[in-house]
Amino acid sequence: MLEQDEVERTGQARLVQRKIRVLVMSKPTMTNAEAEQIPWMAERRLERRDAVGGLVVVRVGHPEWPPAAEEWRCPYMISGLGDDSIEFAHSVDSIAAIQNALRGIYWTFEQTGIPLRWEGFDDDAGNDTGFPMDTDAGYGLAFRQRIERMILDEEAKLAEPTREREEQKRREARRKARAAKARKDPQVRDVNMPAPPRTTSESKRTRWIAERRLARCDAVGSIVLVRMGAPELPSRKNVWRCPFTILGLGDDDSIHFGHGGDSMASLQNALRGIRCTFEQSGVPLRWALQGLEENDTGFPMDTDRGYGLAFRRRMEQMIQAEIEELVRPIRERHERREARRKARAKPRTE
């Protein structure tokens, strides 16, 4: 499916600016046999911190292009919150479907209001699920760039090393020590880039499950191809890794990895690693679909910048405030139109 012609796969790309920015979800009816056949590629276990207790398990599957469909979809399931059904996040390419699945998980947790914590973290870590908000709130490139500059400005105000970050490191060390003793995987959440490249034979064996095409907006031109594989746990290792490669950006076409203590973290860190690679290259790129702006690669910054949960929550509140400031005039205009419409429809009294 990944080798299909780009035009055929994105026949509805005239509306791409709307389609990729709107988080479209679906919950089709599936039999137990169909659900069991879904190839889950990433998982995270969370602890419920309410009176119910127990574990919440989050799974994300391979993106797929169903027969007669017009877009990609990526399955995900959250077990232990009450509704264990499988949902699908949709978008115009396979990587975007994965990104929308992660966004769907984040918003599900926000809407439930149930306190959750990544399994293995101690009480000092707070309600950290490891699913951060990203800066692509659906309001275009200019809005996202303003949010990213705001986050970087806030980072610059932090003293290095911050007390919060040092405490986070100590908590991480304690958690990894407990996990190693219990023969569990450590929750490593650094991107750990760059990773040693694979050999040619290993590269040929990699099964790529998602890709994105980007257009170079410099004198070189041509297409940059991003590919991602499924997370894997190498033998005799306790850290997961998710392979990705970027072809056409330079001379380095080797395979790199995002690392993490669980398969979900390695998937998230691979996405962060791709963005970091683009930022470091300085090459202007554009998602190779109609209707997108220059330098919009579709790999947004997220709010998990390594400064702890309090910093991330503060950034999320700032983003929500910026969104409210942006949509307030639109909402007020709509309310005025509705008021005028109701006034015209009101029957006159003699």
Query: pLDDT per residue over 132-191, tens digit each?
Result: 888 876 777 888 888 888 988 888 888 655 555 555 556 556 555 555 554 344 333 344
Coil vs helix vs strand at 17: helix
Across 21-30, 169-178, 207-216, 319-328, the highest mean pLDDT is recorded for 207-216
The per-residue pLDDT for 87 is 92
How high does pLDDT run on average in the chain?
78
The per-residue pLDDT for 267 is 96
Which residue in 171, 14, 197, 23 sits closest to 111, CA to CA? 23
Q: Tokens for 53?
A: 């207790």
**Mean pLDDT across the stretch 72-95?**
91
Count of residues in the chain? 350
**Mean pLDDT across the stretch 75-91?**
90
Residue type, 218: D
DSSP E strands in the chain: the ranges are 25-26, 40-48, 55-61, 72-79, 86-91, 116-118, 208-216, 223-229, 240-247, 255-260, 285-287
CB 262 within 8 A of CB 185: yes
pTM: 0.76
Check residue 157 and report its DSSP letter: T
Chain centroid to CA 301:
9
pLDDT tens-digit readout, 237-278: 889 999 999 999 887 788 999 999 899 999 999 999 999 999
Which residue in 249, 294, 308 sits closest to 273, CA to CA? 249
Q: Give the Cα separation of 150 and 144 in Å (integer).
A: 10
pLDDT tens-digit readout, 117-127: 888 776 555 67
Q: What are phi and psi of 3, to 5 degrees?
A: -90, 0
Say which range, 23-37, 71-85, 298-312, has the weakest mean pLDDT: 23-37
CB 303 within 8 A of CB 312: yes
The per-residue pLDDT for 75 is 94
Say which range, 53-57, 63-67, 104-108, 287-291, has the weakest mean pLDDT: 287-291
Q: Tokens for 31?
A: 């039999």
Cis peptide before 196 (omega within 30 of 0): no
At residue 319, does pLDDT exceed 60? yes
The per-residue pLDDT for 37 is 80
Percent of all residues in the chain with a pLDDT value above 90, rounded to a whole number:
29
Enumerate residues 6+ apart whose C-beta is below 8 A from 213.
6, 93, 223, 224, 225, 226, 287, 288
The per-residue pLDDT for 329 is 86
The per-residue pLDDT for 14 is 32
Residue bearing tokens 């290259």: 281
